[in-house]
Structures are given as C-alpha cells and as structure tokens.
Structure 1
C-alpha cells in the first residue's frame, strides 16, 4: 500500500487536538510554584483516608477564588468537583494498593493553580462480606471554638472489621476517618449556628451501618450575617401583560464557591426561592417575579443565600419598591 502524505495544516490541527485531550485527562502543568496572575493557591490540609477496599476519601481546606477543584491520582485526573466542595470519594480502586493523590484549584476562567502536596493512602484487602457493621454508639460532640466541633463515639463492630467512619452534617457527608479512630474534628463551620451530625461505620466491602444517634449542638459566638449576606441589592418594577413584576439584582456573598440557591423575602416573609444549576452567576445576579396587578403598592424586599454548609446566610439590606415605579 502506498503511503499518502498528510498535509501540514492537518498535522498541526491534530497535534493541537491531541494536546487538548491530554490536558483534559491529566494533571500536568498548572500554575507553577506561586499563585500570581489571579491564579488560586495550592490547597492545604489535604488528607487521604481509605474508606473501603475500593475507595479513598480525599479532603482539603477551601481556597479563595476557586471555580473547580481537580483531584489527581499520580498524574491522572480522577475527579473534578465544584469550588463549593472540599472533599470527594475516589472510587473503583484496587484492594491492597497504595495510592498517591494531589489536589489543585482552577479559577473561574479555568486556569489552574499549583498542586497541593502529595498524600498517600493504602486500600485494605478485599473481603467477601454481606453484613453491615453495627451503628456507632454513644455519639457525643462539643464545639471547639466558633468554627469547629469535635465528635466522639463508641466503636462499631463488624465480623470483618470496620474500615472507616463517615460523618454527616444533615444529609451531607462532610468527613471521614479510619476504622481505628473514634473521634473526628469537623471544621469550616460558622459562629452562632446550630448543626446536626451523625456517624456511620463502613467495612472493607462498602457495607454501611445505620446512623448513630444524632448530635445537635451550636457553635459559640455571634453571626450577624453581614459576611454572608448578598450586597448591592437593587429593586425596581415593570409592567407586562397587565401585571406588575419586581426586578431584583444583587452581588453574591463571598463564599467557598458559587452560590446556587437564594431565597427572596417579601414584606418580611420568605416568598420564593431561586435555584441555579452549574450556571450560578459569580457577578451580579438578577431575578424578576410576579407582584400582582395593582399599581402603587409598596413592597419591602431582601435576599439571602444558601451557603455551602447547607445553612442560610445573612439577609441583605432591605429595599423598598413600588409597583408602577422604577424606584
């Protein structure tokens, strides 16, 4: 068969495409040792804990100015998570195998910062096991300062041994520790806020126990809500199809990641919720909603955001708007 020469422009396009594919599936490159030029810094506090024979739980501290985090196994990208999250379970691993992980952050434009330090975890051996561990007993908790709590419990039992314990805040898994531990410290909380935690045991075969008794406690201090409240709220009205609508816009609060849910308060009561998907605005957010058919009615409006920990942030400054008026 005679070789057919490939045109040079096609070769160049192929090289660019192949390079892009490598970047999408690898963790090479990045922002270097520093985080200049608007790049996020390297995540700190990275830990890796085997959760079962085939999973490892990776956690890290929040980084400012993050759009997404990349979790890498060696030089391979294995998970990408939103900037509002600080943990992930890496699954489909091999039993009795040592793994190394790093985390790096990308800003809102997709540019990566430097990698974190490397952390290691070894998965336990696989076992044939259909029985879940017993629930952890005598779960207690206490606040450790205004932004953290310490939980303790009595060890669960399992015919093959407990591999790890998962800590839940409400319905969300927020922490994981090894099967030989009976305590955990959960950080990143807010002052003056009430929380509910439960603990579940997991064995090497990924069987999960029922939850232990819920621990409800409050972090000390006060939270006036100013740091978590939307700012720059503007309110106006417009008329369409014989009815009046309120037009709101605001600047999202500074949080660990994008805010995907807001609650609109009208005349002192929660009136409606606004939920964004992956397209949550990072700049000024806008929302318009039905306010009735009567002109000259004055309303009081405020907005608050649901934060990454699942709680509501502070309410924005109040604005007054009258139907039929742009003020």
Structure 2
C-alpha cells in the first residue's frame, strides 16, 4: 500500500523571490511595530513629469484600520497621507535622476509597520520651453472585469517631446497612472453593480496635460467574483525529481494590470500553500517558481494560483492543473 507523504510547507527555490512577506527594515528611530501591521504591497513608482513621480501602493493585508501612510524617498520622509489614500504625487524632483521610494503604514493605535519593498524610478530629462500639451487620448473603450474591476484601453496621444504618462480619472478624481508607452490599465477596487465614468489624460515631461479623452460609462456586474482578466494565464505545472525528492515547477503569464504584480498565492490540493513575493522587481514576462512536495512517487497534486491586484485584493484563480510525481 502506497504511503501518503506528510505535507510540509513548500519551499520556493526561485532565487529571485522571497517566500512570505517580510520586513525590509526600519528607518530612523521609528521602531515601534504593531503585530497586526504588515508592509504595504504592490508599491509602484511612475515618472509623471521630469520633476514628479506618481507613487501607488496597496492596503496592507489583514489590518483592520490604518491611520496613515508615510512615503520615503531613500531614507527621507517626503509625504504622509490618510489611511484611505493609496497614491500620491511626489514633486520637486530633479530631471534625469534616479530615486528609490518605499511606503509604510501607521495603525490607529500609533504602531508603525515595516517598510514596503523599495521601488526605483528615473525621471526623464527636462524639456526646455515646452508649452505644447499632448493631444487628446483617442477613443476610450473598456469592459467590466467581474464585480470589482474594469479593463480600459485608449488611443495613444501624441506630443512633440513625447508622452510620459497617462492619468485615469473616475469622475474628477485621479485614480491610476501608467507610463506613456501603455494604452491599457486594469482598474480595481470598484464596487459590484455600480456605474462609473472614466476619462484619460496624457502628460509630457514638462507637466503639460492634455484635454481629457472621450468619457466611458460602464457598470460592474453584481456579485462578488473577480473577472477572468485578473487571473494569471498560460499556467503550467510539471513535476521534477532532484536529490531524491520531488518538486513542482510552475510557470505563468502575469495578468495585465497596467503595473507590476507584487505577489501571488499558490494553492496545493485546495489549500493555500504559500505566498510568493518578489524581493526585487517582478519579471516582466513569464514568471516561474519551484517548490518541494515530498519524496514519494505516484502522488497526484492539483495546483492553481492567483495574483495580488493594484488595490491589494486577490484576483481570480488561474486554471487548475493536475500533476503526478514520478510520472
């Protein structure tokens, strides 16, 4: 009779990744840490102009209430925003310069959480005497992606010096920003069964802003499910034997969110096995990971994954794949 192996927590062997969310350290003398606080995830930094950067992040997971977020440029505190705000423009920067940003949360009781992963961004060079705004973005199209997200695409703007970024607005509020080479964004954190109006504006390095492109009205579907556009695609699993043990090699294409995907949850046989967090920049193309599943041949496993979205929630599951060790 075949012995059922004892299942230990899988260990990732992907050198580019850290398993489980860990602190990136503290700055200065702010050393108080509340046990409920974790580091903000999904931190991104996008140059908005030659002298500004748009920093966005996700709400820390498992925290009941966050009073405020502090944004750091290197080791310097540069901005503090209320807990319900997850983005900010950092201005007064130098053109053609590289900066590193990180974020951390402060709880309602005053405890200070760990720093997020650091992200690096380079501002473009300054453009002298540029007073010409980019052209209006082309037709905005989109569709609800489940109950809480929407995928938007638009026609590219043109500028004599180049478009640096696109800003997405919900009504009159800027809610997202992507690089000038992008004409697509996944907007998350929406409410089920709700109508929205979106517009897009383009910006150049001199902070000239285009008129808003055509408005798009759409409504999210009722319910609680995440749309298929939030799921990793082309998910594949293969069993491999090494050193007398078996490992599962995973590969997938990240969902297109208009930014990086900071973390994934890997589920083994219907249970959460581990959370995969990249310690550096996530791969731009195919992502890969490998973890230990035991020493016995002939054991059948089912695996699926899901990605963390820009608002900190978890997207739809990938397709589920079955694999047998030693087959």
Q: TM-score range by the shorter chain?
A: 0.5 to 0.7
Partner residue of 2:42? Answer: 45
Shift of 1:121: 0.6
Q: Does 1:127 align with 2:123?
A: no
Post-superposition Cα deviations, 1:186-240, rounded to whole Å, max 9, x if no partner, equal: 11111111111110000000000000011111111248xxxxxxxxxxxxxxxxx
State how far apart, in whole Å, the 2-side matches of 1:157 and 1:91 are. Answer: 24
1:170 match: 171
Q: In structure 2, how many angstroms separate the alpha carbons of the residues matched to 1:77 and 1:167?
A: 27
| RMSD (CA atoms) | 1.9
Give me the whole-angstrom Cα distance separating, in 2, the residues matched to 1:89 and 1:199: 17
Distance 1:29 1:190 in 2: 39
Matched residue of 2:115: which SS? coil
Q: Secondary structure at the match of 1:150?
A: strand
In structure 1, what is the equivalent of residue 160 of structure 2? 159
Q: Deviations over 1:108-143 (max 9, x none)?
A: 133210000001110000002001001100111111
Partner-residue secondary structure (3-state), 2:28? coil
In the alignment, is the contact (CA less than 8 A) between 2:70 and 2:105 conserved in 1?
yes
Superposition TM-score, scaled by structure 2 size: 0.57
Distance 2:49 2:55 in 1: 13
Deviation at 1:178, TM superposition (A): 0.5
Q: In structure 2, what is the Cα distance between the partners aligned to 1:169 and 1:158?
A: 24
Task: Give the CA deviation at 1:35.
Answer: 5.1
Larger RCO of the pair (alpha carbons < 8 Å, separation 6+): 2
Q: For the residues of structure 2 that align with 1:124 and 1:110, how far apart are their CA atoms?
A: 38
Note if 1:195 corresponds to 2:192: no
Q: If the length of structure 1 is used for normalisation, what is the TM-score? A: 0.57
**What does residue range 75-94 of structure 1 map to in structure 2 within 5 Å?**
75-94=75-94
Shift of 1:31: 5.5
Question: CA-to-partner distance for each residue in 1:57-76, whole Å, 9 max, x for gaps?
Answer: 01011233200000100110
- Aligned residues, how many? 196
Runs of 4+ in 1 over 4 A off after TM superposition: 29-32
Unmatched tracts of structure 2, length 5 or more: 1-25, 225-310, 312-327
Which segments of 5 or more consecutive residues in structure 1 lack a partner in the other structure?
1-25, 224-308, 310-327
Q: Which residue of 2 aligns with 1:72?
A: 72
* In 1: Cα distance, 2:31 partner to 2:136 partner: 44
